[in-house]
């Protein structure tokens, strides 16, 4: 029979180059809350623990956290980050697989850009019709409060154009 493995004290873990969650957060640029989340969803292997139960992270964990952070900065969703991490760790990967994931994400970003431009155009049109003075009438609020027409695109509740037809009335 083997004796149970003893968890290190925090000071021993630090001496061995490991970091607690706060320091891992500072070193990686990922908040402690998100580090715990990435562990929960499986992007990051479960952290080691000290005798007192504190999470401790190795250099390899920090490298993975920085990878995740950069992927998030580029807008990749968790599912795609998981795939990218798998490819990153697989030294026999084909770069074509990585490029394919990037190309799909670029298409998604292009679609999002079109949606944002449409929202901006709709809001600009509403703002142009608002007098912006002491009057209580406000076409922006009227549009937001109006019953939404059937949505044709994939975004829930998206209304790419406004219902305003003509120039603002002068009162």
Reported as a single tens digit per residue, the pLDDT across 80-124 is: 999 999 999 999 999 999 999 999 999 999 999 999 999 999 999
**Higher pLDDT among residues 79 and 18, named by residue:** 79
Name the residue with higher pLDDT: 94 or 168: 94
In sequence order, what E strands does 2-107 have? 19-20, 48-49, 55-57
Does residue 51 contact residue 9 with C-beta atoms inside 8 Å? Answer: yes
SS3 11: helix
Give the DSSP letter of residue 133: S
Mean pLDDT computed over every residue of the chain: 86
Q: Is the pLDDT of residue 14 over 80?
A: no
Q: Which of 169, 123, 132, 163 is nearest to 147 (CA)?
A: 163
Q: What's residue 1's pLDDT?
A: 52
Report the pLDDT value the prediction gives residue 166, as an integer from 0 to 100: 47
> Phi and psi at residue 56, in whole multiples of 5°?
-135, 140
**Please, what are the domains in the chain?**
1-93 (1.10.1660.10), 95-165 (no CATH)
Q: Are 124 and 131 spatial neighbours (Cβ–Cβ below 8 Å)?
A: no
- Please state the separation of Cα 150 from the chain's center in Å: 28
Q: Which residue has the higher pLDDT, 156 or 139?
A: 139
Query: CB–CB of 55/45 below 8 Å?
Result: no
Q: Which two tokens stand for residue 75?
A: 């807008």
- Higher-confidence residue of 14 and 96: namely 96
Q: Given a cut of 50, is residue 171 above it in pLDDT?
A: no
To the question of pTM greater than 0.85 for the whole model, the response is no
* Least confident interval from 12-16, 61-65, 104-108, 163-167: 163-167
């Amino acid at each position: 029979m083997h004796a149970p493995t003893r968890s290190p004290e925090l000071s021993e873990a630090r001496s061995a180059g490991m970091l607690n969650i706060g320091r891992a957060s500072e070193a990686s640029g990922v908040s402690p809350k998100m580090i715990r989340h990435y562990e929960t969803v499986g992007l990051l292997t479960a952290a080691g623990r000290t005798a007192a139960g504190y999470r401790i992270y190795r250099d390899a964990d920090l490298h993975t956290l920085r990878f995740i952070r950069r992927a998030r900065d580029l807008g990749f969703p968790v599912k795609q980050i998981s795939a990218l991490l798998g490819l990153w760790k697989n030294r026999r990967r084909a770069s074509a697989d990585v490029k394919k994931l990037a190309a799909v994400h670029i298409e998604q970003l292009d679609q999002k850009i079109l949606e944002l431009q449409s929202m901006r155009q709709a809001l600009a049109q509403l703002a142009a019709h608002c007098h912006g003075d002491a009057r209580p009438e406000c076409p922006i609020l009227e549009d937001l409060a109006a019953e939404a027409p059937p949505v044709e695109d994939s975004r829930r509740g998206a209304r790419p154009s406004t219902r305003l037809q003509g120039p603002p009335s002068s009162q």
